[in-house]
Homo-oligomer: A and B are copies of this chain.
Amino acid sequence: MTDKLITLEPTVISLYENRKYNTLKDILVTLNPADISFLLEKLPEHSLPLLFRLLPKELAAETFVEMESDMQEILIKGFSDAELKEVLNELYVDDTVDIIEEMPANVVKRILSQSDPQTRKEINVILRYPEDSAGSIMTTEFVELKAEMTIKVALEHIRKTATEKETINVCYVTDNSRHLVGFLSLRTIILSKDDTVIGDIMETNVISVSTLEDQEKVAEYFDKYDFIVIPVVDKDNRLVGIVTVDDALDVLKEEATEDISKIAAITPSDKPYLKTSVFEIFKGRIPWLLLLMISSTFTGLIITHFENALAAQVTLTAFIPMLMGTGGNSGSQSSVTVIRSLSLNELDFKDIIYVVWKEIRVAVLCGLTLAICNYPKLLIVDRVTSSIALVICVALAFTVFVAKLVGCTLPMMAKKVGFDPTVMASPLITTIVDAISLLIYFAVATTILGI
């Protein structure tokens, strides 16, 4: 949110409360749709339809797109059929589909009934693609040219059809069966002579995605090739739509949020926190907590098994949390690093030997440093005997080593067998590392202390 908006917020609220609607309108029309939507959210819900009608038609539609879905729903419910039709006419098909996906069935029905037949057909096509596929985020409003057109004819065609197109910055060239054969940027068109033939100057090395491609892959293409648009083709290489870079930004953000949720052992939700109900949050969190709680039975069993050793040396108990904690942290450092690199496609299963060798060296460095720092602390601060300090430090070094090894290999193997590596971040690794660190601890203790 910009500073300007923060300054405007009280003014807008006070103008609204004093019913100075004309002044309010004069302020709103100078703003960007995203900012208008932000300010309208600050005013009482029931005033929304009134204020929305103050805006000029096109700006109103652009503001509508920027709103949260609950506000859109209020507006649609308040619209007359004619008003709804007007707003829908100004929207791009992909935006309409985004809105439809968030609405209850009766509102969807109204939206479809007020769309013109051609748009309705296009909406239905997009709605049929699986969630998170390129087809589901594409728009069908692109500029299509033919290879035999001259620049002059192409420009005329663009001028005639541009208002309905989501972008004209890149134009696509298809043959008579709508196969994608090339593309060229508006920049190239502008810089070319009127009688140049499109086929002679178009770029024929077209990178496209298939309708069923995962949206994450699409975002990756934008990132890799620095595109602002990417064409979407069906399985016969016929051009069916385009995805614009603003959608790629949304996908990148969404996917990062998903990864972060999974790392924290939460089932991801695509709603913002403030819009998610308590019960939905509970549902996303409780399965993992239960799973982790039950899996910690193993650690309990191990401790019970060594009850006698612990009773003989009660001091050992005090260092169990430190040992398990350090093991868990070391493991998750490795697993999260590897998971992120896998997500960004910087790593692949074939790199596993390289990764393991790197993590082994890091683990030895970390384990030794921790053990060496801990030893004097144990003697001076915790005042344990030197043999117990030795047990703890040796166990610590081994735990870090195993934790990092497990942490880096599990996500890669998960990816190899087709599981989501992100889920390996917390739950499974913590459980395994916890159990292993206890086993190491007691093995070292019984060996060194002879208990």
Q: How many copies of this chain are found per oligomer?
A: 2
A31 within 8 A of B: yes
Q: Is A281's CB under 8 angstroms from B341's CB?
A: no
Q: Is B190's CB under 8 angstroms from A285's CB?
A: no
Q: Is B321's CB under 8 angstroms from A374's CB?
A: no
Q: What is the minimal beta-carbon distance from A397 to any residue of chain B, in angstroms?
A: 12
Task: Tell me, in angstroms, the Cα distance from A104 to B438 when the chains sit together.
Answer: 47
Which residues of A (349-373) have their CB < 8 Å from a CB of B? 351, 354-355, 358, 361-362, 365-366, 369-370, 373
- When the two chains form the complex, which single residue of B252, B296, B373 contacts A322, counting CB atoms closer than 8 Å? B296
Q: A186-B186, A266-B337 are in contact. Are A296 and B325 (CB under 8 A)?
A: yes
A236 within 8 A of B: no
A-B contact pairs, 17 of them (CB 8 A): A34-B224, A169-B187, A223-B246, A223-B250, A226-B246, A256-B260, A264-B333, A264-B425, A265-B332, A273-B347, A289-B329, A293-B325, A296-B322, A297-B322, A299-B322, A300-B318, A300-B382
Contact residues of A with B, CB < 8 Å? 1-2, 30-32, 34, 155, 158-159, 162-163, 168-169, 186-187, 190-191, 205, 207, 222-226, 228, 245-246, 248-250, 252-253, 256-257, 259-261, 263-266, 272-274, 278-279, 281-282, 285-286, 288-290, 292-294, 296-297, 299-301, 303-304, 307, 310-311, 314-315, 317-322, 324-326, 329-330, 332-333, 335-338, 340-341, 344-347, 351, 354-355, 358, 361-362, 365-366, 369-370, 373-374, 377, 381-382, 400, 425-426, 430, 434, 438
